[in-house]
Amino acid sequence: MNLSGNTILITGGASGIGYEMAKEFIKNKNTVIVTGRNEQKLQKVKAELKDVVTIKSDVSNPDDVKALYEQVAKDFPALNVLINNAGVMLEVNLQKHKLSPTDLTKEIDINVKGTIWMIDAFLPLLKKNKNAATVIVSSGLAFVPLPISAVYCATKAALHSYTLSLREQLRNTDVKVFELAPPATETELLAGFNPGDRKGVSVMSVQTMVAAFLTGFSNDKFEICPGQSSQLRFMSRFFPSFILKQLSKPVARMHAAN
């Protein structure tokens, strides 16, 4: 993929990985649209990255997805890259929680349904344009779960599987299908987690992670697994019980805290 001259939509681009991608793509002379649910965060991004287009839109709301598609198809008909980055991650004690049924599965609504709905809506536009691509942001935790975030990891494993199928189904089109599986990356997503659970985890800076993504994207590397994400993939294949045991250590801390 070319790193310049694209029209790119990034879901969840008001912070973290999506924001850093937006910044880099703007630097490289692309037209960049970012979405998110929080108008104030979007206004801040607009003030910082002057050339960015911001649109308030929730990927887990089908009406928002439809309205977003209509607006983008009308105002940015050259859209050729869709980056499905929006995501949330919760720690949930499955034996003892106070979440409503809807909140218990909201990661599925945002991470999985949101991605599938966005791709379904935007595929006709991507197919019309040259040099088209979609990127699915999964996680190193797609390959082996971190049990304290059981639903999150299930969503990322689902996205990995969906991406493999999507890539095969789109082989007869010009739309390339990328999976970015970030390792632990220093963003707001990790802020709510216990720092003690990070033993043995090297948290990547968001700049380094996005630089690795851009290198993979520009080389048409369809599965991009920076840093420890690639190690998780390797360990899940060759030492699955060992790596699951390592990632299960925070369960004891979670039980003690509840």
Among candidates 165, 206, 162, which has minimal Cα distance to 182? 206
In the residue annotation, 162 being an active-site residue is answered as no
- Least Cβ distance, residue 227 to ligand NAP (angstroms): 10
Question: What is the rounded CA–CA span in Å between residue 203 and residue 205?
Answer: 7
Question: 163 vs 187, which CB is nearer to ligand NAP?
Answer: 187
Question: What is the rounded CA–CA span in Å between residue 81 and residue 215?
Answer: 16
Question: 105 vs 174, which CB is nearer to ligand NAP?
Answer: 105
- Least Cβ distance, residue 130 to ligand NAP (angstroms): 27
- Least Cβ distance, residue 62 to ligand NAP (angstroms): 12
Question: What is the rounded CA–CA span in Å between residue 9 and residue 7?
Answer: 7
End-to-end Cα distance, the chain: 48
The active-site residue out of 19, 69, 152, 162 is 152
**Binding site residues, ligand NAP, CB under 6 A:** 11-12, 14-18, 35-38, 41, 58-60, 85-89, 110, 114, 137, 139, 182, 184-185, 187-190
Question: 29 vs 217, which CB is nearer to ligand NAP?
Answer: 217
Question: 29 vs 198, which CB is nearer to ligand NAP?
Answer: 198
CB-based contact 104:90 (threshold 8 Å): no
- Least Cβ distance, residue 39 to ligand NAP (angstroms): 9
Could you list the active site residues?
152
